[in-house]
Amino acid sequence: MLKGLPAPIRVLFDAVVVLVCIAAGDLIARVPYPPEEADSLMVLIFQAVFATIGFTIIAYLKHLHRALHVTWVVLMVWAITGFMVLLGLLPPQFWLIIVLPSLAIAGSIGGLLAMLIERFASD
C-alpha cells in the first residue's frame, strides 16, 4: 500500500496507526464510566493492550527489516507524544516514566507476535 513512499512517510503513517489504536483503547476503557470518573489504571492497561495490537499490525505488514521499522515507529510515537507534552496535553512525568518504557515493551511484544502469526500462518 505504501511501498512507493519514502521510509520516513511510512514510519509516520505507521506511528499514526499506533496512535489511533491507543486512542481507541482509551475510548473503550472509558465507555462504562461517567465522564471524568474513569479508572486511570484500567485506561492505561487498555492503552497498552491496544498499542500492542497496533504494533502487531504494522509489524505484520512489514516483512523486511521488521525490527528496525518497529524501532523507528516506537521513536516516532514517542516524539509525537513528546510534542503533546510541549503543547500541555500530557504531563512530563507521565511521558518519561510511563510512555517510553511501555512503548518499547509494546513494540517488542507486537513484533514478536507478528513473527509468530507469520510463522504459524505459513504452516
79-115 per-position pLDDT tens digit: 998 898 899 887 887 777 778 888 889 989 998 898 8
Is the pLDDT at 2 greater than 70? The verdict is: no
Measuring CA to CA, how many Å separate 91 from each of 56, 64, 87? 27, 36, 10
Domain ranges of the chain: 7-122
How far apart are alpha carbons 65 and 102 in whole angstroms?
Answer: 22
pTM of the predicted model as reported, rounded to 2 decimal places: 0.85
Is the pLDDT at 1 greater than 70? The verdict is: no
